[in-house]
Amino acid sequence: MCGIAGQLGGEAPAAEPMIRALAHRGPDGVRVEALAGASLAHARLSIIDLEGGWQPLHAAGGTVVGNGEIYNYLELARDFQLGDRLATGSDFEPLLHLYAREGEAAFDRLRGMYALCLIGPDGRAWLARDPFGIKPLYIMEHAGGLAFASEPRAFFAAGLMRAELDEAAARELLSFNYTVGERTAFQGLRRLAPGEVVEVRDGKIVAGRRRRALLPRSAGEGDPEGVEGALPAHGPDAPSVAFARPPPRAGEERDLIARLDAVLEDSVRVHQRSDVPYGLFLSGGIDSAAIATLMARLNERPVTAFTCGFDVPEAADERAGAERIARALDLDWRETTFGEADFWRILPQVAWALDDPTADYATLPTYKLAEAAKGTLTVVLTGEGGDELFGGYGRYRRALRPAWLGGRPAEPRGADAASLESWRRAAKAPPGLTQLQQAQWADIATWLPNDLLLKLDRCLMAHGLEGRTPFLDPEVAAFAWGLPDRAKVRGGYGKWLLRKWLERACPAASPWAGKQGFTVPVDAWIAPRAGDIAARIGKVGAVRRILGDEAAVRMREGGPGQRWPLLFFAVWALIHLEGAEPGAALSAVAGMEV
């Protein structure tokens, strides 16, 4: 995992100042190159081929800079008999050889998490992002060409744009805890959509398409690769392209469990490909327990696992469950705690790291876990995606109930009309899906890339760690999407098939216990200071523009879930819109030093 930046078209060498702003993503070194009509830069966190994997990488007449990992690079080299043509062991080099052979179709062969820029021997330049949006990529078109980077801060550091708030996005943030679709919190800057592949000529996007993470069951059947041809449209509304093989048919329970075991083991195996130490973040939940079970199976030595706990009565502390799993699997288990002092210390650091903001309070213990793991691990496997693919959330069960039993669409509540309409557009599923699949599609299109995966990327990269998500793999997705609803939700339980598998593979995980959730007692820590914060928060320009006098009222009288997003937004705005240092931003809003 690294940071990338660059400019396509024009003459201004924007990449140098851009990549310097992303040095935290690549603590092992920075390289910048000027090419004909392009400037490319890479900040490296060395994971695979520590000596030879430096980028920009040149092979087969092309050049690439990439952030992330191509997990099937060994299989691509084998299947296409690249052999002696490979000059490095980099996971990105096979892509250059494949592109030289088959052009843009090469992108459809990638299994991994990535954001990349490739310039081929044919002179065509491409930007691409993985179908789940695990790795970030931001773009802006300007008079000098098209600039791209792994984080928004790179554009401001290079003087390519000013940090101006997009007020509609800010309202989305305060409604959903994240911004929707390709819109960012900054005017004129957008995310490349998950799965988006675009061609850039003379600094302009001229064509593109989407590789969706999920498709209806009928999509792609009859095509062994599940991939359609290139499409002329581009942008967030471009047509979708399948990327996974046809999903499995429903079968007997024993057969489904066996296939689930095989597909998960295969995913964890390739996600462990690394030349540096790896481990996992372990909660007491089903998803991380599943990853831990397979890592323990695949490794001869005990796997290192980190767990964060809370020594406060208001929080759900998962350490007891995590320790039980760790003992059963003989993990090298390490725990860290999160308390009120950590909350105030870490809050401004998280706000700095999340230049593309998410107000999910789970960012706080995630940051603390990364802080604890730094120096021991470089690669961390996590359980993100298990709920979305296998039907774990309570809102999925509610979506399946008839209306007279309280069933309702799985969409956020309490948002203003404009924000809710924006969410509905981004979450709109194709026809032919079941109610459960529609709810899964909505989450995978909205909050998974713009909240959960954004949180993982920024909180780990702030400490020079790479986060990997074995559930968010094309083979796992193809299997999960093809399951009948009853294999996901049954008898009041979500993730039914995953639980059935886990009760055999790791009974210590107590797979039929109720979902505990991940609760951080932020309101209990904010409430004693709410009056002082209320008197200060309205002085923050962005808060005043969005909420006016309502901000102080919300801070004084708001219930659980209302104060934290507002406090985070105020600190974030001072840092990223007004240029305040993180500690000074917290002091201005909360009247305290850290």
The pLDDT-based confidence of 58 (bands split at 50, 70, 90) is: very high
Find the helix or strand (DSSP H, E) in which 197 lies: strand 196-201
What is d(CA 322, CA 332) in angstroms, rounded to the nearest whole number? 12
Question: To which residue do tokens 């899964």 refer?
Answer: 440
pLDDT of res. 225: 34
Residue 218 has pLDDT above 80, yes or no: no
**Between β-strands 304-310 and 278-281, what pairing exists: parallel, antiparallel or unpaired?**
parallel
pLDDT of res. 251: 55
Q: Please state, for a pLDDT cut of 90, what percent of the chain lies above it.
A: 81
CB 354 within 8 A of CB 363: yes
Residue 421 has pLDDT above 50, yes or no: yes
User: What tens digit of pLDDT does each residue of 15-44 get?
Assistant: 999 999 999 999 999 999 999 889 999 999
What is d(CA 112, CA 121) in angstroms, rounded to the nearest whole number? 23
Q: Which two tokens stand for residue 175?
A: 């409604």
pLDDT of res. 243: 39
- Higher-confidence position of 238 and 167: 167
pLDDT of res. 490: 93
Residue 246 has pLDDT above 90, yes or no: no
User: What tens digit of pLDDT does each residue of 113-154 get?
Assistant: 999 999 999 999 999 999 999 999 999 998 779 999 999 999
Cβ contacts of 503 within 8 Å, gap of 6 or more: 511, 512
pTM: 0.93
- Top mean-pLDDT range of 219-233, 234-248, 485-499: 485-499
pLDDT of res. 578: 98
- Higher-confidence position of 185 and 219: 185
Residue 239 has pLDDT above 50, yes or no: no
Question: What is the maximum span of the chain, computed from C-alpha positions, in angstroms?
Answer: 68
Q: Which two tokens stand for residue 392?
A: 């774990």
Per the DSSP assignment, residues forming a β-bridge with 333 are: 305
Residue 227 has pLDDT above 60, yes or no: no
Return phi, psi of residue 35, to 5°: -115, 175
Residue 324 has pLDDT above 70, yes or no: yes
**315 to each of 176, 319, 333, 516, 563, how far by Cα in Å?**
22, 12, 21, 10, 17
pLDDT of res. 241: 38
Describe the crossing of helices 340-353 and 582-590 by its angle, rounded to 10 degrees. 120
User: What tens digit of pLDDT does each residue of 532-577 get?
Assistant: 999 999 999 999 999 999 999 999 998 778 999 999 999 999 999 9
pLDDT of res. 221: 32
User: Once rounded to an integer, what is the mean pLDDT over residues 364-382?
Assistant: 98
User: Once rounded to an integer, what is the mean pLDDT over residues 458-487?
Assistant: 96
Lowest mean pLDDT among 232-246, 463-477, 540-554: 232-246
Lowest mean pLDDT among 90-94, 416-420, 450-454: 416-420
CA atoms within 13 A on the CB side of 340: 10
381: left (phi over 0), alpha (psi -120 to 50) or beta: beta
Q: Which two tokens stand for residue 570?
A: 């105020």
Question: To which residue do tokens 């800010």 refer?
Answer: 170
The pLDDT-based confidence of 450 (bands split at 50, 70, 90) is: very high
Q: Does residue 195 sit in helix, strand or coil?
A: coil
Sign of the torsion formed by the C-alpha atoms of 25, 29, 30 and 35: negative
pLDDT of res. 558: 86
What letter would DSSP give residue 450?
I
User: Once rounded to an integer, what is the mean pLDDT over residues 89-106?
Assistant: 97
CA 91 to chain centre: 20
**Between β-strands 125-129 and 196-201, what pairing exists: parallel, antiparallel or unpaired?**
antiparallel
Per the DSSP assignment, residues forming a β-bridge with 68 are: 114
The pLDDT-based confidence of 244 (bands split at 50, 70, 90) is: very low
Residue 1 has pLDDT above 80, yes or no: no
For the chain, give the mean pLDDT.
91
pLDDT of res. 357: 98
